[in-house]
Amino acid sequence: MAAASIFSVALILFSLLYQIGGVVSQYWVREQVNNAGSGCDLFHGEWVYDRSYPLYISTDCPFILKEFDCQKNGRPDNEYLKYRWKPTSCDLPRFDGRSFLGRFRGKRILFVGDSLSMNQWQSLTCLLHKSVPEANYTLSKVGGVSTFKFPAYDVSIVLSRDAFLVDVVNESNGRVLMLDSIQNGSYWRTFDVLVFNTWHWWLHTGRKQPWAEVRYGVNNVHNDIDRMKAYEKALTTWARWVESSVDPSKTKVFFQGVSPDHMRSREWGDNAKSETCFGQTAPVLGTQYPGGSHPAQVILERVLRTMSKPVYLLNITTLSQLRKDGHPSFYGFGGRRSIDCTHWCLPGIPDSWNQILFAALFQ
As a three-state string, the secondary structure of 95-132 is: CCHHHHHHHCCCCEEEEEECHHHHHHHHHHHHHHHHHC
Per the annotation, the verdict on 343 as an active-site residue is: yes
| Residue of 115, 123, 259, 329 marked catalytic | 115
262 is catalytic: no
CB 157 within 8 A of CB 148: yes
What's the burial of 115, exposed, middle or buried (CB within 10 Å: 0-12/13-18/19+)? buried
3-state secondary structure the chain: CCHHHHHHHHHHHHHHHHHCCCCCCHHHHHHHHHHHHHCCCCCCEEEEECCCCCCCCHHHCCCCCHHHCCCCCCCCCCHHHHEEEEECCCCCCCCCHHHHHHHCCCCEEEEEECHHHHHHHHHHHHHHHHHCCCCCCEEEEECCEEEEEECCCCEEEEEEECCCCCEEEEECCEEEEECCCCCCHHHHCCCCEEEECCCCCCCCCHHHCCCCEEEECCCEEECCCCHHHHHHHHHHHHHHHHHHHCCCCCCEEEECCCCCCCCCHHHCCCCCCCCCCCCCCCCCCCCCCCCCCCHHHHHHHHHHCCCCCCCEECCCHHHHHCCCCCCCECCCCCHHHCCECCCCCCCCHHHHHHHHHHHHHHC
Q: Out of 265, 343, 351, 352, pick the active-site residue.
A: 343
Q: Are 302 and 231 in contact (CB under 8 A)?
A: no
Burial of 202 from C-beta contacts in 10 A (0-12 / 13-18 / 19+): middle
Active-site residue 15, yes or no? no
Q: Exactly one of 200, 340, 351, 352 is catalytic; name it.
A: 340
Residues catalogued as catalytic: 115, 340, 343
